[in-house]
Amino acid sequence: MLVNCAGMSLSGKFEDLEVSTFERLMSVNYLGSVYPSRAVISTMKERRVGRIVFVSSQAGQLGLFGFTAYSSSKFAIRGLAEALQMEVKPYNVYVTVAYPPDTDTPGFAEENKTKPLETRLISETVSVCKPEQVAKQIVKDAIVVTMGLFRTIALFYLGSFDSIVRRCMMQRAKSEIADKTA
């Protein structure tokens, strides 16, 4: 089994992010999973057994405010995994994608320093998971081929995330009007 868990996050509004941020996240998050997968795929096919796990993110199945660069790099992993699964299934090689939520890691702490308000509020709607808890769930999902707990949870929260963004936008508009009339 190969578990691809390379990843980093940089947040910000689309128009505020440099194109180099998109390039960097694609390089780390997407290509950081392509290279190791290419290194093992031939051997797995020859042996006619294997499993490749791609660790995406909740933001890899739901495009989230402030994560235009991050979400797109994690969505790319989903596309890679789905296409690769079609290629390797005849060889008894299986691909799983995990969509973990916010996890208490040094990277998450760093990410929180620059999150826009909307992104922080969305993030606060769920509790932060412990790395051990996430790892156990990823292994469980890899062994039992299902939609996965994390993906199911993400679909539940999508509507509330849209509501948070709308409320912040309306609050900003009210503040701008108040500033203009003051």
Per-residue pLDDT tens digits for 54-107: 999 999 988 999 999 999 999 999 999 999 999 999 999 999 999 998 999 999
β-partners of residue 67 are: 12
Domain-wise residue ranges, the chain: 2-115+127-157
Assess whether pLDDT exceeds 50 at residue 19. yes
Task: Confirm whether 70 is a catalytic residue.
Answer: yes
What's the whole-number mean pLDDT along residues 116-141? 90
Per-residue confidence (pLDDT) for residue 147, from 0 to 100: 45
pLDDT of residue 152: 61
Do 111 and 67 touch, CB atoms closer than 8 A?
A: no
Going by pLDDT thresholds of 50, 70 and 90, the confidence category of residue 33 is: very high
Provide the pLDDT for residue 148: 52
3-state secondary structure 101-123: CCECCHHHHHHHCCCCHHHHHHH
DSSP state of 91: G
Paired with 94 in beta bridges are 51
- Residue of 57, 70, 71, 123 with catalytic role: 70
pLDDT at 153: 63
Give me the residues paired with residue 12 across strands. 67
Q: Identify the active-site residue in 9, 11, 56, 71.
A: 56
The yes-or-no verdict on residue 25 having pLDDT over 60 is: yes
Tell me the pLDDT tens digit for each residue of 131-145: 999 999 888 888 765
Instruction: Let me know if 9 is a catalytic residue.
Output: no
Q: Is 156 helix (H, G, I), strand (E, B) or coil?
A: helix
For the question of residue 56 being annotated catalytic, the response is: yes
Report the share of the chain in percent with pLDDT over 90.
65
Residues 30, 76: contact at Cβ < 8 Å?
yes
Please tell me the predicted confidence (pLDDT) of residue 6: 85
The string of pLDDT tens digits covering residues 40-63 is 999 999 999 999 999 999 999 889
Reported as a pLDDT band with limits 50, 70 and 90, residue 14 is very high
pTM of the model: 0.78
Which tokens go with 101?
């939520």
In the predicted model, is pLDDT for residue 159 greater than 70?
no
CATH number given to 2-115+127-157 = 3.40.50.720
The pLDDT, as a whole number, for residue 146 is: 47
Instruction: State the Cα–Cα distance between residues 58 and 80, nearest whole angstrom.
Output: 16
